[in-house]
């Protein structure tokens, strides 16, 4: 079994889900007393969020690279960044370490295509929904990507930062997300990507008429696949 390296803390709410899923999946596949070999460096999200808000991606990159090097020094065999938004800096992080980086958008695109879906709706932070670092990665993997209208993007983003990363689950916000997902389905989406690792805390596959791809679950399973690969 290889050692899974994780950069977490963005937010710790979803990072804890990564840890649980990875260990549950290892136990399911190997049985007995097996658990995952993994290391996690958890950053202070207040610092990262401030860099995001200020558009200071150079400082954010320095923080991510420092965390990645800590993961590498701890003996990990691969690297997972436990957040969709910070994959904006995946190229910089990948260049700074020798570890293979398991990109969350690649893992998600593979899961979507395996389900026979080519057009998907995407929910996430405004960075993830609006900037090409994520949507273009999905498109390079052969997917057509739909995002909500601007007003809905703002509300989806607000709920993430004001509620979900604080561990707050509110029924009106869940209703809003379900409404936004429904709109994407009506626009032709054959599946919905929960492109923020906290969104799965609020909505799930039972809340939509088409398949829902929780990137936290997909990414964690990809890590286990890599850890157990020959």
Q: Is there a catalytic annotation at residue 196?
A: yes
For residues 120 and 193, the answer to whether their CB atoms sit within 8 Å is yes
Whether 103 contacts 87, CB under 8 Å? yes
Greatest alpha-carbon span in the chain: 50
Q: What's the rounded Cα separation, in Å, for the pair 107 and 88?
A: 16
Phi/psi region, residue 85 (left: phi>0; alpha: psi -120 to 50; beta: rest), is alpha
DSSP state of 217: H
Strand order, beta sheet including 144-146? 144-146, 119-123, 191-194, 212-214
83 is catalytic: yes
Q: Cα(119)–Cα(30) distance, rounded to whole angstroms?
A: 35
Catalytically annotated residue among 83, 85, 128, 135: 83
Identify each DSSP E strand in the chain by its residue range: 4-8, 38-42, 78-81, 119-123, 144-146, 191-194, 212-214
> In Å, how far from its chain's centre is CA 116?
21
Q: Which of 38, 196, 215, 216 is catalytic?
A: 196
Task: Please identify every residue annotated as catalytic.
Answer: 83, 196
């Amino acid at each position: 079994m290889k050692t899974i390296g994780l950069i977490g803390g963005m937010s710790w709410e979803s990072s804890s889900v990564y840890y649980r899923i990875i260990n549950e999946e290892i136990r399911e596949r190997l049985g007995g007393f097996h658990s995952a070999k993994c290391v996690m460096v958890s950053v202070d999200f207040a610092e990262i969020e401030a860099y995001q808000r200020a558009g200071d991606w150079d400082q954010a990159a320095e923080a991510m690279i420092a965390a990645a090097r800590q993961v590498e020094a701890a003996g990990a065999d691969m690297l997972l960044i436990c957040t969709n938004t910070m994959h904006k800096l995946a190229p910089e992080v990948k260049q700074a370490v020798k570890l293979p980086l398991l990109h969350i958008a690649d893992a998600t695109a593979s899961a979507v295509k395996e389900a026979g879906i080519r057009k998907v709706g995407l929910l996430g932070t405004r960075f993830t929904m609006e900037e090409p670092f994520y949507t273009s990665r999905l498109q390079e993997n052969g997917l057509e990507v739909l995002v909500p209208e601007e007003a809905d993007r703002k509300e989806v983003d607000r709920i993430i930062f004001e509620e979900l990363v604080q561990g707050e689950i509110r029924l009106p916000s869940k209703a809003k997300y379900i409404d936004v997902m429904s709109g994407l389905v009506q626009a032709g989406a054959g599946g919905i990507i929960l492109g923020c690792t906290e969104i799965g805390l609020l909505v799930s596959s039972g809340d939509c008429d088409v398949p829902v791809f929780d990137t936290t679950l997909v990414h964690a399973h990809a890590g286990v696949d890599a850890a157990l690969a020959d």
